[in-house]
Chain A
Amino acid sequence: MDTFLYSLPVIGLLFQVVGYLIAILPTSAPIILRAATPLGFGALCGVVCERSGVVNIGIEGTMLTAAFTGWVVAIAAVAVLGPMAPGPLGITPTLIIGLVAAILSAVGVSLLHAWLSISLRIDQIISGTIINIAAFGITGYLNNVISAASPTSAGQFEKFRPPAALMDLPFVGWLFTTILNQGPITISLLVCAIVLQILLFRSRWGLRTRAVGEHPKAAETVGIDVIRLRYRNVLIGGVFAGLGGAFLSMELSNAFQAGQTAGRGFIALAAMIVGRWTPIGGLGAALLFSLFLTIGQTIGFDPPTGQLGEIVAALPAQVFSALPYLVTIVVLAGLIGRSTPPAADGRPYEREATA
């Protein structure tokens, strides 16, 4: 009974937390999904790679390369073709050229990772680390050089505007706003995650990928080309990382900054693990992280009321900026026993010598 009485204030506080979340959710939800976009794409990249047995901690560098290349090619296209009036969604031919270049550059970086880790069988974590260091250095250097020339911006992808009637619907209107009132890359994340989930668990490619990730030798025995499949998956992962990177410099903003990914590639990796190496799970974990990230940002200028408000006001602001990272660690440490990686994850595959 005593324990119950003591727990009453805690329960009251819990209600206040839930109440606060419900209060801010409709306005914050679109921001949360936007913040989750690069994380979600990074997680999809991780899932495709690791389900086939290739650890990719170079996602950060891959996204950074894509963000830079997309921006630089788009401004170069503007310099050559001249500025153009944006069409629907802010789309211009120059932006499309930039987006394609971003994806190609990410696929190129992924090819390097694939070559190093699959063909040369270098430790996959080392290979990823080198990619991160190289991408940071090269994009930082070139960004410095190019920004000095103050080039004309190529603009950015704009949000889709669904009919107002849909967004104003009672109770569910905010949900439509969240999903549809977004830029093309964000909307495509939701599509990609669902499609990838289905392909991974319902298609021949998915079955082969999982087989190679769990037991490459057995897969090889039934005629699957392990090396080729791994190459293909790492390159597909590059497409996702490319979209995540392009989002940063072409949809969230209209310019590249040195170190623009700011650790998002690593957080994406954590999201993939928390999401148990599934596309939808990775997306969910990315949304969870972004939820806490957004709370950390909103709580400053839109603080809760009552007891909860007093507690919030008493804590240093940094507690809330650290919140998403703390939650990730707690979830990771709590989940990991039940979150099992593919059995052959991170192991280079060596064909047995045949006579």
Chain B
Amino acid sequence: MTADSGPGMRPDRPPLSGRISRERIGRALTTIVLPFVAMLLAVIIGSFFIYAADLIANKGAIDLGKPLTAYGALVKGSLLSFDAIVATLKQAAPLVFGGLAVALGFKAGLFNIGVQGQLLMGVLGSVAVGVALADQPVFVAAPLAFLAGTLAGAAFGFVPGFLKAVSGAHEVVTTIMLNYIALNILAAFVSGPLRVPKAPAPVTFDVGHAALPIFLGKTGHVGILIAVVAVVVVWWLLYRTTLGFEIRTAGANPDAARYAGMRPRRLIMLTMTFSGALAGMAGAGELLGVTHQTQTSFATSVGFDSIAVALLARSNPLGIIPAAILFGAMRAGAGQMQIEARTPRELVDVLQAVILLVLVVLPVIARALGGRGARAIPVEAETITKSYASESVTT
């Protein structure tokens, strides 16, 4: 059973006794301590990868201090100066949106792998409206362009929700297909109606006044603040509204949700639409806050990193912020690491993978090996997606 510690829902709460408080402490400890254990292990395992790279590059000569140089540069590029911190926050903002998008789906028992595609639709929507409103006042152009990106993402999230609700087509497969379709839709628009005439390669105009205002340093755009607001809104939606209660119930126990008269089809469509809207915000924030224009392809790894962020945060909206900052910092510092230590920036992907693996596996092993106390360790997301069957849809 998914242990849900949200304040809005306290399922099968056992009578008060000494054991509960111990469980609570255990749960809090694992939520806080476990990520640090995972990070520590990632750093250790990452060191072996750094040594391996060094060994091949220098034909057998090993620099024992190499991991220190590499990790030092990683930290320097992400935390040790004001500009570095702004860079980290900028990298974290789209991960917050994307992480929320995936986490919201997880809560409803849906796996949205389509964040990448919905994000690209957000890019398309915001660049189309942004270019059209480029000469309007900022307070008109920027919000409308951001909204357009959000809606485009929502529309693209609705599609797999609708397909699942109507035909039972599994969202894991449809969203992956839609990612490729989104890639082509964006390319078609950028090389067609949105293309700057006579430009040597297809590219759109700059969004001009529709760009998100800068509020922090030289490049810290308002999208960072919107991301924080989004966290609060999603938390509120999940734990303070009836819809949120229904979403969580449908995710935790579809049968119970159906017996209670909730309508799974409607919930699936709504959740996927909201999830798509959040992914669209990630795209709108990146376009209006960072690139201001786009080519036929919009390079980003946010779509897939978002899944890692949601898993790291155990789908808890409030946990998304630290998780996104951690991964954002690694992305921000990767360039510095590559320059100073000549360690390939892909090391960040390795660290990310190790953190995830440890985070998912360690609690299960601890629970299996440990005694009574260890059994209190929550194993989040035990049953996210039951099967490809449409059974949870049929009413």
Contacts and interface: CB of A to CB of B under 8 A. Distances in A.
Contacts of A333: 163, 166-167, 169, 174
A134 B352 CA distance: 8
A329 B304 contact: no
Nearest to B179: A263
A329 B361 contact: no
Contacts of A336: 167-170, 390
B353 A134 contact: yes
Interface of A is mostly: helix
Contacts of A136: 304, 349, 353
A144 B184 contact: no
Contacts of A226: none
Given A325-B177, A336-B169, A126 B184 contact: no
A347 B353 contact: no
A295 interface: no
B377 to A, nearest CB: 13
Given A130-B357, A138-B350, A141-B346, A341 B364 contact: no
Interface string B77-112: 000000000000000000000000000000000010
A141 B311 contact: no
B49 A270 contact: no
Contacts of B360: 116, 122, 126-127, 130
Interface stretch (B118-126, B131-139, B226-234, B378-386): B378-386
A6 to B, nearest CB: 28
A337 interface: yes
A346 B173 contact: no
Given A133-B353, A149-B56, A336-B167, A141 B180 contact: no
Interface string A259-291: 000010011011001000000000000000000
Interface stretch (A102-110, A163-171, A232-240, A316-324): A316-324
A9 interface: no
Contacts of B344: 141, 144-145
B173 A269 contact: yes
Contact of B346 (A134, A140, A337): A140
B350 A137 contact: yes
B332 to A, nearest CB: 17
Contact of B389 (A129, A258, A345): A345
A123 B383 contact: yes
Q: How large is the interface on B (under 10, 10 to 19, 20 to 34, 35 or more residues)?
A: 35 or more
Contact of B387 (A142, A258, A322, A346): A346
A120 to B, nearest CB: 5
B353 A137 contact: yes
A27 to B, nearest CB: 25
A144 B348 CA distance: 13
Contacts of B308: 133
A219 interface: no
Contacts of A273: 170, 173, 388
B33 interface: no
Contacts of A332: 163, 167, 169, 173-174, 177
B57 interface: yes
Given A141-B349, A145-B344, A122 B57 contact: no
A137 B352 contact: yes
A130 B384 CA distance: 14
A148 interface: yes
Given A145-B344, A263-B180, A123 B188 contact: no
B352 A133 contact: yes
B290 interface: no
Contact of B172 (A125, A317, A319): A125
Contacts of B183: 322
B365 interface: yes
A340 interface: yes
Contacts of B382: 121-123
A263 B173 CA distance: 11
B237 interface: no
Interface in B56-87: 56-57
A12 interface: no
A329 B117 CA distance: 15
Nearest to B163: A333
Given A141-B350, A333-B169, A337-B167, A120 B176 contact: no
Contact of A321 (B178, B184, B351, B361): B184
B111 A125 contact: yes
B307 interface: yes
Given A145-B53, A333-B167, A316 B177 contact: no
B214 interface: no
B25 interface: no
A141 to B, nearest CB: 4
A337 B168 CA distance: 7
B385 A346 contact: yes
Given A130-B360, A145-B57, A319-B188, A57 B346 contact: no
Interface string A328-342: 110011101100110
B349 A140 contact: yes
B34 to A, nearest CB: 15
A318 B166 CA distance: 28
A55 B52 contact: no
A329 B178 contact: yes
A146 interface: yes
A12 B129 CA distance: 40
B181 A133 contact: no
Nearest to B364: A120
Contact of B347 (A134, A141, A337): A141
B296 to A, nearest CB: 9
Contact of A120 (B170, B187, B354, B365): B365
A273 B304 CA distance: 23
B106 to A, nearest CB: 9
A270 to B, nearest CB: 5
B361 A137 contact: no
18 contacts: A55-B385, A129-B311, A133-B352, A134-B353, A136-B304, A141-B344, A145-B57, A258-B346, A263-B180, A270-B176, A316-B191, A317-B188, A322-B184, A326-B177, A333-B174, A336-B167, A336-B169, A346-B387
CB-based closest 10 A-B pairs: A137-B349, A134-B353, A318-B188, A322-B184, A141-B346, A318-B184, A144-B344, A346-B387, A316-B188, A140-B346
Given A57-B172, A141-B53, 17 more contacts: A116-B360, A120-B364, A120-B368, A121-B364, A123-B385, A125-B172, A130-B360, A133-B304, A134-B350, A140-B349, A145-B56, A270-B176, A318-B188, A322-B184, A328-B173, A332-B169, A333-B166
